[in-house]
Amino acid sequence: MKKYKVKKYHKFTLFRMKIFAVIIAVLIWIIYLFFGTGESINVELENVSALKISSDLVIEIRNFAEKYGIEFSEFFTYYSLENNFFENKIESDEKIEQNFIMNYEKVKSKYNFKEVKKYYDLINNIYNDIKLFPISPEFIDEYIYGDSWGGERTYGGKRIHKGCDIMDRENIRGRIPIVSMTDGRISNIGWNEQGGYRIGVVTENGNYYYYAHFDSYEKGLEKGKTVKCGDILGYMGDSGYGKEEGTKGKFPVHLHIGICPKTELTEDELWINPYPFLRLIEKEAEDIK
């Protein structure tokens, strides 16, 4: 009979092999932790821009996040990714709890963490920047707005509306004060053909917040000046849609809000629908009252 030679390892060699195995296991664990299982993300940037979330769902998500002790921006990011940024479906509360929250860790592990972070940063930076609704609470009954993203605009060429319009119910220029939603620095102030008298504010993280169609500016504002959230920027108006500075009355009195965040998702400008964030901050202010 053939005799197999059993190789005997020296005790020290065995010990080294064990240590090696442990190191490999730890390395795999770290890679898994940081990069997930690596499913690449395939979301249309157009959907990210449009953020098609129903006005109630964004509040629901905030409430669920609170209930289950999950950070809002993280929850919002994974929920959005699972729903292709809301292009596919809006689910009922029960479904969110059963399909999403109960499988939350599983959902998270599906995605490449480094990829997710780009979406997370975008959501989280805007969410943290906006501390106030752009109209002070005394005027809560004086304005009206909805999700006006994507509407067709024709002035200056056919294009889609990349912002959110907040209308004066009375349509009277110069009566509703507009306040800064964020802390930041004024990077643009003055006339532009489409936006009329407009102000651009850049926050510390590089996000850009655009306020347009002012009737007049608050005194003392100039390019480079820092503003705090709640500072009055000016008064709601209907300026714009004219090559000549001071053109007014081409449309109803309203404030146009635009958000263009700094993002790693693309090198181009990526405007984000402000509506969900405005709804959220408005609801938070109501809850505090």
Contact between 168 and Zn ion by CB under 5 A: the answer reads: no
Using the rule CB under 5 A, give the single segment among 1-9, 80-88, 107-115, 159-167 that binds Zn ion: 159-167
Give 196 or 261: the residue with its C-beta nearer to Zn ion: 196
Element (H, E) at 163: none
Length of the chain: 289
What residues pair up with 185 in beta bridges, in sequence order?
202, 226
Give 163 or 234: the residue with its C-beta nearer to Zn ion: 163
* Sign of the dihedral through C-alpha 35, 40, 44, 47: negative
d(CA 50, CA 267): 18
Contact between 195 and Zn ion by CB under 5 A: the answer reads: no
List for the chain the helix, strand, coil content (%; round to 5): 35, 20, 40
By CB under 5 A, how many residues form the interface with Zn ion?
Answer: 3
Residues 6+ apart with CB under 8 A from 94: none
**Residue whose C-alpha is closest to residue 84's, from 36, 37, 46, 125:** 46
Give 52 or 198: the residue with its C-beta nearer to Zn ion: 198
Torsion of CA 188, 192, 196, 202, to 10 degrees: -20
Using the rule CB under 5 A, give the single segment among 59-67, 129-137, 164-172, 274-282 that binds Zn ion: 164-172
Give 173 or 256: the residue with its C-beta nearer to Zn ion: 256
Residues 6+ apart with CB under 8 A from 232: 177, 178, 179, 218
3-class SS of residue 57: helix
Give 198 or 256: the residue with its C-beta nearer to Zn ion: 256
Contact with Zn ion (CB under 5 A): which of 115, 121, 129, 165? 165
Give 163 or 200: the residue with its C-beta nearer to Zn ion: 163
Q: Smallest distance, Å, CB 209 to Zn ion? A: 14
Which residue sits closest to Zn ion, CB atoms considered? 256
d(CA 145, CA 167): 6
Give 163 or 261: the residue with its C-beta nearer to Zn ion: 163
Contact between 198 and Zn ion by CB under 5 A: the answer reads: no
Tell me which residues in 223-282 interact with Zn ion (CB under 5 A).
Answer: 256
Q: Smallest distance, Å, CB 269 to Zn ion? A: 16
Q: Smallest distance, Å, CB 242 to Zn ion? A: 16
Distance set, CA 91 to CA 95, 147, 234, 252 (Å): 6, 19, 40, 35
Using the rule CB under 5 A, give the single segment among 5-13, 108-116, 161-169, 273-281 that binds Zn ion: 161-169
Give 27 or 160: the residue with its C-beta nearer to Zn ion: 160
d(CA 239, CA 65): 40
Tell me which residues in 78-97 interact with Zn ion (CB under 5 A).
Answer: none
Contact between 163 and Zn ion by CB under 5 A: the answer reads: yes
Would you tell me which residues interact with Zn ion (CB under 5 A)?
163, 165, 256
